[in-house]
A and B are shown apart, each in its own frame.
Chain A
Amino acid sequence: MTEASRQWPLWEVFIRSKNGLDHKHCGSVHAPDAKMALQNARDVYTRRLEGVSIWVVRADHVVASDPDAKPEMFDPAEDKIYRHPTFYKLPDEVNHM
């Protein structure tokens, strides 16, 4: 493969909109290295004060759960309603607990 036909790798972009909040995924950019990925992410995703901090992660370094395995992954929590506070019915006088 020649250099000209090699595409810049893909980076996933996460932005913290302000201190006190989590970084949130907002999209992706292509860039040859981490430094330019940050630069491109800034130009593409924060033109209007959308962020105070940016993370970029090579897309091929992200490990994701398999959407087809959703039942095995997430269903076991469905029948454990006793994990939620609303499961417990308390006397009216103290129910705001």
Chain B
Amino acid sequence: MYTQAMDIPSPERDEAQSARGPRSLKEAEYEAEFDAKVARGEFIEAKDWMPEGYRKTLVRQISQHAHSEIVGMLPEGNWITRAPTLKRKAILLAKVQDEGGHGMYLYAAAETLGVARDDLVDALHSGKAKYSSIFNYPTLNWADIGVIGWLVDGAAIMNQIPLCRCSYGPYARAMIRICKEESFHQRQGYDLLLTMMKGTAEQRALVQDAVNRWWWPSLMMFGPHDKDSTHSGDSIKWGIKRISNDDLRQKFVDATVPQAKVLGVTLPDPALKFNEERGHWDFGPIDWTEFWYVVNGHGQCNRDRLADRVQAWEDGAWVREAALVHADKQRRRDRLAA
């Protein structure tokens, strides 16, 4: 998920807020038209007039979403060479390739807002842009790959389905494409875990251990509680965010509890209990200290993840450069031949 970043203060956000100063009459007219369009549930397209705050919020959200997809390749990539069978290896390769593809769809959507891809990538590498904190946890055993599919991609799907109806056309279309593919990610994860649960006691213990480690970070993926999420107002008004953090989190818990039962694992929360009155599962308090600690760069893998990304980018520089020089040479040759 990735809209978590919506609720995290950043210098860019403050800029977006202050960009809404005094406006010309023309601009006020445009803004009224824009608000009416969004209220009618119409889409805004790339070249349409939009408030500067809307544009900046989208650039930040879409690019951070893209960064999350790209960084998200790392914890799973760690297991490609160690997958237990050829079948699982092929599946994992396809999944990691999908994550890369999702990053590409999203960067392309962000670029329609008038930003350069290289600038977005630089913001990630310099630490200025955030990505989902979930990827700063390590993948310690093979069951982690299954649990990431089941819980992390499951939480991502909950978060992303409402984005398919977001007011910005290019983002909504990218999300439709992504959601279709995420369903494969979640199902292959659950299938992997089912297989392990049919194995030895030791394998079942690995699954339980992975569930214990990923459960709370998965719940954190939905971002701070609604009462602490002071910045969602504009996003809701603009039709970027459709469902609140707490509502999505509750939906995820309600969907996941029965799945854990079928799988034969327990969820590490003694407070988890069905509330007849509410018709939902109650769950215990989330450790927000841990959440902010990881968001602010002190998770177990923050440094490694960013260092790996930067190294991959720098190692590829000569390839990008050579391809450009080659393309120039071909064009010159074609001109001479013509």
Q: Which residues of A approach B to under 8 Å, CB–CB?
A: 3-8, 10, 26-30, 32-33, 36, 43-45, 47-48, 64, 66-68
30 contacts between A and B (CB under 8 A): A3-B321, A3-B324, A3-B325, A4-B317, A4-B321, A5-B118, A6-B324, A7-B116, A7-B117, A8-B320, A27-B104, A27-B108, A28-B108, A28-B111, A29-B104, A30-B117, A32-B323, A32-B326, A33-B330, A33-B331, A36-B327, A43-B101, A44-B104, A47-B94, A48-B181, A66-B47, A67-B47, A67-B48, A67-B49, A68-B49
Chain A contacts of B94 at CB under 8 A?
Answer: 47
The reply on B97 being an interface residue by CB < 8 A is yes
The answer on a CB contact under 8 Å between B97 and A47 is yes
How many residue-residue contacts, CB under 8 A, span A and B?
A: 56
Which chain A residue has the least Cβ–Cβ distance from B106?
A27
Which chain B residue has the least Cβ–Cβ distance from A59?
B111
A36 CB, nearest partner CB in chain B, Å: 7
The A interface is mostly helix, strand or loop, or mixed, namely mixed
Chain B contacts of A28 at CB under 8 A?
Answer: 108, 111
Chain B contacts of A67 at CB under 8 A?
Answer: 45, 47-49
The reply on B98 being an interface residue by CB < 8 A is yes
The answer on a CB contact under 8 Å between B97 and A27 is no
Which chain A residue has the least Cβ–Cβ distance from B330?
A33
Q: How far is the CA of A27 from the CA of B101 in the complex (A)?
A: 12
B54 CB, nearest partner CB in chain A, Å: 15
The reply on B174 being an interface residue by CB < 8 A is yes
Other A-B pairs beyond A26-B177, A27-B109, 4, CB < 8 Å: A7-B116, A27-B173, A27-B174, A48-B181
A36-B111 contact, Cβ under 8 Å, with A27-B105, A67-B47, A68-B49:
no
The answer on a CB contact under 8 Å between A36 and B104 is no
Digitize B131-149: 1 where CB-to-A-CB distance is under 8 Å, 0 elsewhere.
0000000000000000000
Which chain A residue has the least Cβ–Cβ distance from B320?
A8
The answer on a CB contact under 8 Å between A8 and B324 is yes
Q: Which residues of B approach A to under 8 Å, CB–CB?
A: 45, 47-49, 94, 97-98, 101, 104-105, 108-109, 111, 116-118, 173-174, 177, 181, 317, 320-321, 323-327, 330-331
Which 5 residue pairs across A and B have the least CB separation, nearest first? A33-B327, A32-B327, A32-B323, A3-B321, A28-B108
Q: How far is the CA of A3 from the CA of B323 in the complex (A)?
A: 10
Q: How far is the CA of A48 from the CA of B320 in the complex (A)?
A: 27
Q: How far is the CA of A43 from the CA of B97 in the complex (A)?
A: 9
Which chain A residue has the least Cβ–Cβ distance from B98?
A47
Q: How far is the CA of A33 from the CA of B328 in the complex (A)?
A: 9
Chain B contacts of A5 at CB under 8 A?
Answer: 118
Chain A contacts of B173 at CB under 8 A?
Answer: 27
Chain B contacts of A47 at CB under 8 A?
Answer: 94, 97-98, 101
| Residue in contact with A32 in the complex, picked from B101, B177, B324, CB distance below 8 Å | B324
Chain A contacts of B116 at CB under 8 A?
Answer: 7
Which chain A residue has the least Cβ–Cβ distance from B174?
A27
B226 CB, nearest partner CB in chain A, Å: 33
The answer on a CB contact under 8 Å between A10 and B111 is yes
Chain A contacts of B325 at CB under 8 A?
Answer: 3
A66 CB, nearest partner CB in chain B, Å: 8
B4 CB, nearest partner CB in chain A, Å: 24
Q: How far is the CA of A29 from the CA of B47 in the complex (A)?
A: 19
Chain A contacts of B330 at CB under 8 A?
Answer: 33
Chain B contacts of A7 at CB under 8 A?
Answer: 116-118
The answer on a CB contact under 8 Å between B108 and A8 is no
Q: How far is the CA of A64 from the CA of B45 in the complex (A)?
A: 13
The answer on a CB contact under 8 Å between B105 and A44 is yes
The answer on a CB contact under 8 Å between B323 and A8 is yes
Which chain B residue has the least Cβ–Cβ distance from A70?
B48
Chain A contacts of B117 at CB under 8 A?
Answer: 7, 30
Chain A contacts of B101 at CB under 8 A?
Answer: 43-45, 47
| Residue in contact with A64 in the complex, picked from B47, B105, B177, B331, CB distance below 8 Å | B47
